[in-house]
Structure 1
């Protein structure tokens, strides 16, 4: 059943430019920014297959911090992202949304694949516009923050929690902003990012900012 489910997703994702390696689908632009989607198995009852679907948007300089000279296109995962989300396995009518996809019949396979395909059709075009565009990412993060604040106010006023009222995904806004400054060679703007540990992401950001600043002086 899981092979059948993966096959259904692969047809759509391959058409969108994704390459599958095991349970992970990856898409990259020419600059090395990308999107990763993985199928993460979890505990299930006998006769069932249960899993999560995680997706993340990947920023090229951040990937270079993780992988250096190694090929991020082979190994980048959603947890290496600057925006990540775990898909909800239930539809909009569910009272208690659940992130666990469970397959025990062929009908479950079709139903789960439909949920994921609908989510991708709605969200994948927008995610692709973020690739390499830190200004667009930060604008989207701010829009999500504002939407979450409105939803929180509305729900507190109504006394009822409504499924789907919160923005999907989590942004690493400080990290995105720091890499934006670094790529522009703005050393002063990144110095408040913790960087005393030479192996830290902060040290990588400061080093990148200094390299870009030196390049601009040539």
Structure 2
């Protein structure tokens, strides 16, 4: 591993370990007892000589959604932000940047300190919110609505001011339909799952929609015993 990147990982790892995360390679993971979790990774894009560039991604993980991806395998060793129902790529620049950039670039120790400060500040601000979503579908659905309202307000403010500021939106993107489908499934509401997934383009017996529907049938059968 590049020496500068190694030092960056060490600085970030101190905070994440204290917050209950475990590092495996360049991915940090935190899970609750039910298998819901948060993953943060360092996605290298270039490494030339003494320089290294990377993205830092984070995702909130929903337990039944992970079971679809990993089956009997342990997601605690392999889940990434890509598997999240909420995903975000951290911005490497500060709030004053006219054009925010997501690419972190390290070529000197000062770059390491600055990059680590950006990530650690973001984590301090956002980790409590992300942890509050774990295992609480209603909290996630409420957050989706809050983010939608914030985005609409930000868009209106920018249009009114005539000054476009890229990136002035809530952090992260939600997979709301997936969250709702699995919430219906865990309640055994087969009809609601079928309605939620009816417009999904990818179908078939191995699809995400089929998985949610199978869980719904299973939960309904369990409740009828």
TM-score norm. by structure 2 comes to 0.94
Matched, 1:20 2:23: yes
The alpha-carbon deviation at position 132 of structure 1 amounts to 1.2
The alpha-carbon deviation at position 46 of structure 1 amounts to 4.3
Alignment equivalent of 1:81, drawn from 84, 88, 92? 84
Matched, 1:70 2:73: yes
Determine the structure 1 residue equivalent to 2:108. Answer: 105
Give 3-state SS (helix, strand or coil) of 1:43's partner: strand
Determine the structure 1 residue equivalent to 2:224. Answer: 217
Q: Mapping of 1:27-38 within 5 angstroms?
A: 27-38=30-41
Q: Mapping of 1:1-218 within 5 angstroms?
A: 1-43=4-46, 46-192=49-195, 193-194=197-198, 196-218=203-225
Give 3-state SS (helix, strand or coil) of 1:191's partner: helix
Q: Considering only aligned residues, what root-mean-square deviation do their CA atoms show, in Å?
A: 1.2
Q: How many residues align?
A: 218
**Alpha-carbon distance between aligned partners in 2 of 1:7 and 1:164, rounded to the nearest angstrom:** 28
* Contact 1:92/1:164, CA 8 A, preserved across alignment: no
TM-score norm. by structure 1 comes to 0.97
* Contact 1:57/1:81, CA 8 A, preserved across alignment: yes
**Alpha-carbon distance between aligned partners in 1 of 2:184 and 2:174, rounded to the nearest angstrom:** 17
The alpha-carbon deviation at position 159 of structure 1 amounts to 1.0
Alignment gaps of 5+ in structure 2: none
